[in-house]
């Protein structure tokens, strides 16, 4: 039953009950009033009749008494009049025209009973004695009609009132229900998510006030929803942008939420979890057991497509009603790159330590080798027609000294850092040339290939000879890993993005030229991968390798500002990935402007004297002997201060100054600066075993030197540099 019908019926029932009581009470009061009125009228009429009829009755004047009776029945509502004597005889009687004779003669009991005639009588007394009885009947028809009329009016009024009340109730109920329907529809709309809906409101009554309050609440809900949506969007954006994975787990380990990164990491750690929606394990870790044992932080090692990846997990309890119903926040982080970067940095630190140690040895060791090489070459050049066995011994000494010099250079290369000197080269052209050269030297059972990409320019900042050395080392290692033959493939491409190399930061996009050297050989055991770049580390049999090849590759790559990574799987092969600094599409052309020297016009070009400044006495004597063997006059000094003194004494006869870079008291850099500050225009050649690790930076000198000799120095190189620098100096002097 509708609210409207309930309202109408309820109000109608209440109104009907009230009107019924009112009508009943009104009719009862009317009936009582009518009876009382008839009684009073009868009493009054009888009193008048007694007064009027006494004389006629006493005189027995029946005619007058008869006229009296007729006049009496003509009185309105008088139905009959009868006068009886004391003995009961009727003296006179008459009746109204509305009554029959038989009714007059004998008043019907039915008429009296039904209330049609209301009889009344009084006794007429004479001197106190009853003389006659006057009987009169009043008709109640008019009174009844009046009563009925009043009752009908009351009924009509009551019905009209009920109809008006019903109409008012209907209209009120309709108004209320229409407003409630609006409120119900708006509430349903809000429940459906249509927040902010407004109900049209008119009037100032309480219901209108309620609707206005609803409208205000709806707007507040909309504002709250917008704020919540904005907050959720910020949180979602924050979670989506996180480099860590985040998942919310219920107490039964169902995944209630996960951010995109978390979803990706869970695919690695728990493949197929979305089928059940629950996390039973992460890698090899049983999650329920971990929670039971309170293992809330763990590092997992997972093999994915043949590669090992490391993940850090952290579980945080979200307190619920009870501990066994608590939710959990699972934080996931792929720390493979971090582990790789840490290992990368540790390797660099270890190699830097070894490099510093090697650099500390390089000066003295190269000086020793310089003496051995110099004296061996000097004696070989002096001894004509000597015993063949002695010549072979000297050549063996020279060969082993030069080999030792190469080993020293290899040791030092892995910690060199001189990327600014790297020129721009065409990588595809350089690789094609290197592969063409190597194909002539590797066994026929090994297929070496490189397919250049057409219409693609790949330029990198790298020394071409160093790249050839790096590729050759890697190819030779790959050949050794394939004793029964196989394939070695070189590829080159440009890689751009985040974490595209092991030592890269995990939040910065990088761009590199990548060269892959891939073989299908035996592969490298996983526990050896972290050591492959260590100097002197080798898995080859005794006498088959020094363990310096990959260390030298690593050093050269670092020196040129690049990076290197290795991936390997036993039985499947190995890939070395080289990351080189990209260069502009057009290789840079590097030009150097030598220091301009002017010599006095009086200089004698045929009588050249050279000043050699060297702190090692054995090497100083050897250098002197070698230069004298080349036909030069030589004076020597043991450090920079002695060199300045020697220059001040012999500057007019000196054609060239050769100085070591690292010396006590005053080093070579300070000597050169002092000479140039004194307006010395004599050509200067700097000598050093490994100047970068000796704390010497030749760039400090700008164009103040005219040549450089790397120790240990052999006679051919010495003769070439000295003659070239002196000739250049003489040429400028002549001009």
DSSP calls for 178-225: HHHHHHHHHHHHHHTT-TT------SSSHHHHHHHHHHHHHHHHHHHH
What are the angstrom distances between the C-alpha of 688 and each of 399, 594, 595, 609, 661? Answer: 21, 19, 19, 21, 5
Mean pLDDT of 95-107: 61
Please give the Cα distance from 505 to 498 (Å, whole number).
8
User: CATH 3.40.50.2300: which residues of the chain?
Assistant: 343-393+592-735
Confidence class of residue 541 from pLDDT cuts 50, 70 and 90? low
pLDDT for res 645: 93
Residue (of 305, 350, 326) closest to 256 by Cα position: 326
168 CB contacts (<8 Å, ≥6 apart)? 11
Q: Is the pLDDT of residue 99 over 80?
A: no
Class of domain 419-580: alpha beta
Going by pLDDT thresholds of 50, 70 and 90, the confidence category of residue 42 is confident
Beta bridge pairs of residue 495: 512
pLDDT in tens, 174-184: 777 777 788 88
Position 169 scores a pLDDT of 74
Which pLDDT score, from 0 to 100, does residue 694 have? Answer: 47
pLDDT, position 321: 46
* Of 160 and 109, more confident: 160
Q: Give me the pLDDT at residue 56, please.
A: 65
Contact 551, 414 (CB under 8 A): yes
**Mean pLDDT estimate for the chain:** 77
Q: How would you class 539 by CB atoms within 10 Å of its CB: exposed for 0-12, middle for 13-18, buried for 19 or more? A: middle
Q: What is the DSSP string of 66-135?
A: HHHHHHHHTSTTEEEEEEEETTS-EEEEEE-TTS-HHHHHS--HHHHHHTSEEEEEEEEEETTEEEEEEE
**Which of 257-261, 487-491, 555-559, 589-593 is predicted least confidently?**
589-593
The pLDDT confidence band at residue 420, using thresholds 50, 70 and 90, is very low
Instruction: For 564, list phi and psi in degrees, rounded to 5.
Output: -145, 145
613 with 657: CB under 8 angstroms?
A: yes
Q: Answer yes or no: is pLDDT of 413 > 50.
A: yes
Select the more confidently predicted residue: 488 or 309: 488
Residue 583 has pLDDT above 60, yes or no: yes
Higher pLDDT among residues 586 and 185, named by residue? 185
**Residue 545 scores a pLDDT above 60:** no
The first and second tokens of residue 417, run together, are: 């850092």
Q: Is 526 a residue whose pLDDT tops 90? A: no
**pLDDT digits over 383-398, tens only?**
666 677 787 888 888 8
Q: What is the pLDDT of residues 690-730, one digit of tens each?
A: 655 445 555 567 678 888 888 888 888 898 899 989 887 75
* CATH 3.30.450.20 domain span(s) along the chain: 3-148, 242-334
* Of the candidate ranges 111-115, 128-132, 377-381, the one whose mean pLDDT is the lowest: 111-115
- Residue 433, classified by CB atoms within 10 Å of its CB into exposed (0-12), middle (13-18) or buried (19+), is middle
Distant-in-sequence, close-in-space partners of 37: CB < 8 Å, separation ≥ 6: 143
352: exposed, middle or buried (Cβ count in 10 Å: 0-12, 13-18, 19+): middle
Q: Which of 213, 46, 33 is nearest to 121 (CA)?
A: 46
Among 169, 200, 195, 167, residue whose Cα is nearest residue 183:
200
Residue 380 sits at φ, ψ, to 5 deg, of: -65, -35
Residues 193-252: pLDDT tens digits?
787 888 888 778 777 888 888 888 888 888 887 887 787 777 777 767 677 888 888 888
Q: Which one, of 712, 716, 722, lies nearest residue 618 by Cα?
A: 712
Class of domain 343-393+592-735: alpha beta
Q: How far apart are CA 448 and CA 427, in angstroms?
A: 17
- Mean pLDDT highest for which of 60-69, 418-427, 532-541, 620-629? 620-629
Residues of the chain with CATH 3.30.565.10: 419-580
Q: Given a cut of 80, is residue 144 above it in pLDDT? A: no
Tens of pLDDT, residues 186-195: 888 888 878 7
- Cβ atoms 581, 460 nearer than 8 A: yes
Could you say which of 3.40.50.720, 1.20.1090.10, 3.30.450.20, 3.50.50.60 is the CATH number of the domain covering 242-334? Answer: 3.30.450.20
CB-CB neighbours of 450 under 10 Å: 21
Q: Is the pLDDT score of 316 beyond 90?
A: no
> How confident is residue 655, by pLDDT bands cut at 50, 70 and 90?
very high
Q: Which pLDDT does position 358 carry in this prediction? A: 65
How high is the pLDDT of residue 407? 66
Structure tokens belonging to residue 200: 């049209």
Task: Return the pLDDT at 597.
Answer: 29
Which class is domain 3-148? Answer: alpha beta
- The structure's pTM equals 0.42
Give CA–CA dist 730/734, Å, rounded: 6
- For 173, the token pair is 């109920």
What is the structure's pLDDT at 36?
A: 77
In the DSSP assignment, the letter for residue 582 is: B
């Amino acid at each position: 039953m509708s609210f409207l019908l309930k309202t109408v019926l309820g109000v109608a029932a209440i109104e009907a009950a009230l009107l019924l009581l009112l009508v009943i009470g009104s009719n009862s009061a009317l009936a009582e009033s009518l009876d009382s009125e008839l009684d009073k009228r009868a009493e009054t009429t009888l009193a008048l009749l007694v007064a009027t009829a006494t004389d006629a009755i006493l005189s027995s004047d029946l005619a007058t008494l008869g006229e009296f009776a007729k006049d009496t029945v003509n009185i309105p509502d008088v139905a009959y009049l009868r006068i009886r004597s004391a003995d009961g005889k009727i003296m006179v009687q008459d009746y109204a025209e509305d009554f029959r004779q038989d009714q007059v003669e004998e008043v019907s009991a039915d008429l009296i009973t039904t209330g049609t005639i209301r009889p009344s009588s009084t006794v007429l007394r004479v001197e106190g004695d009853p003389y006659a009885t006057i009987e009169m009947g009043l008709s109640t028809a008019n009174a009844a009609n009046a009563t009925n009329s009043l009752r009908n009016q009351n009924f009509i009024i009551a019905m009209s009132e009920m109809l008006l009340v019903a109409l008012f109730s209907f209209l009120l109920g309709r108004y209320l229900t229409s407003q409630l329907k609006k409120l119900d529809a708006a509430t349903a709309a809000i429940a459906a998510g249509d927040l902010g809906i407004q109900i049209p409101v008119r009037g100032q009554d309480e219901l209108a006030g309620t609707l206005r309050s609803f409208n205000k609440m709806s707007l507040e809900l909309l504002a709250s929803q917008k704020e919540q949506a904005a907050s959720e969007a910020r949180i979602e954006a924050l979670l989506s942008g996180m480099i860590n994975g985040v998942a919310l787990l219920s107490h039964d380990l169902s995944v209630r939420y996960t951010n995109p990164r978390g979803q990706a990491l869970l695919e690695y750690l728990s493949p197929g979890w979305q089928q059940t929606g629950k996390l039973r394990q992460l890698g090899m870790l049983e999650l329920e057991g971990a929670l039971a044992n309170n293992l809330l932080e763990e590092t997992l090692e997972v093999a994915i497509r043949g590669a090992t990846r490391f993940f850090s997990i952290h579980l945080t309890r979200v307190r619920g009603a009870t501990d066994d119903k608590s939710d959990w926040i699972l934080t996931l982080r792929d720390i493979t790159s971090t582990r790789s970067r840490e290992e990368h940095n540790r390797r660099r630190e270890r190699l830097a330590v070894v490099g510093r140690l090697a650099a500390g040895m390089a000066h003295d060791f190269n000086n020793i080798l310089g003496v051995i090489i110099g004296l061996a070459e000097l004696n070989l050049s002096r001894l004509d027609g000597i015993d063949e066995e002695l010549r072979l011994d000297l050549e063996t000494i020279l060969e082993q000294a030069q080999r030792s010099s190469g080993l020293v250079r290899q040791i030092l290369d892995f910690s060199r850092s001189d990327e600014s000197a790297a020129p721009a080269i065409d990588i595809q052209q350089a690789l094609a040339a290197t592969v063409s050269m190597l194909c002539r030297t590797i066994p026929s059972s090994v297929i070496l290939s490189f397919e250049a990409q057409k219409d693609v320019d790949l330029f990198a900042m790298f020394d071409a000879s160093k790249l050839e050395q790096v590729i050759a080392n890697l190819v030779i290692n790959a050949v050794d890993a394939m004793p029964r033959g196989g394939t070695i493939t070189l590829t080159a491409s440009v890689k751009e993005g985040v974490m595209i190399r092991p030592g890269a930061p995990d939040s910065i996009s990088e761009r590199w030229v990548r060269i892959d050297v891939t073989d299908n050989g035996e592969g490298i055991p996983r526990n050896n991968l972290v050591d492959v770049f260590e100097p002197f580390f080798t898995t080859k049999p005794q006498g088959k390798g020094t363990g310096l090849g990959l260390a030298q590759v690593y050093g050269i790559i670092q020196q040129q500002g690049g990076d290197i990574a290795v991936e390997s799987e036993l039985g499947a092969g190995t890939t070395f990935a080289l990351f080189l600094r990209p260069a502009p599409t057009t290789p840079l052309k590097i030009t150097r402007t030598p220091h301009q020297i002017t010599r006095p016009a009086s200089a004698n070009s045929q009588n050249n004297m050279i000043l050699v400044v060297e702190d090692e006495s054995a090497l100083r004597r050897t250098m002197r002997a070698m230069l004298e063997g080349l036909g030069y006059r030589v004076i020597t000094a043991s450090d920079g201060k002695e060199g300045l003194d020697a220059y001040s004494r012999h500057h007019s006869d000196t054609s060239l100054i050769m100085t070591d870079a690292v010396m006590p008291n005053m080093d070579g850099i300070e000597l050169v600066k002092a000479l140039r500050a004194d307006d010395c225009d004599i050509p200067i050649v700097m000598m050093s075993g490994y100047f970068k690790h000796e704390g010497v930076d030749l760039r400090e000198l700008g164009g103040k030197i005219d040549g450089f000799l790397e120790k240990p120095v052999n006679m051919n190189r010495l003769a070439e540099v000295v003659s070239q620098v002196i000739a250049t100096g003489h040429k400028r002097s002549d001009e």
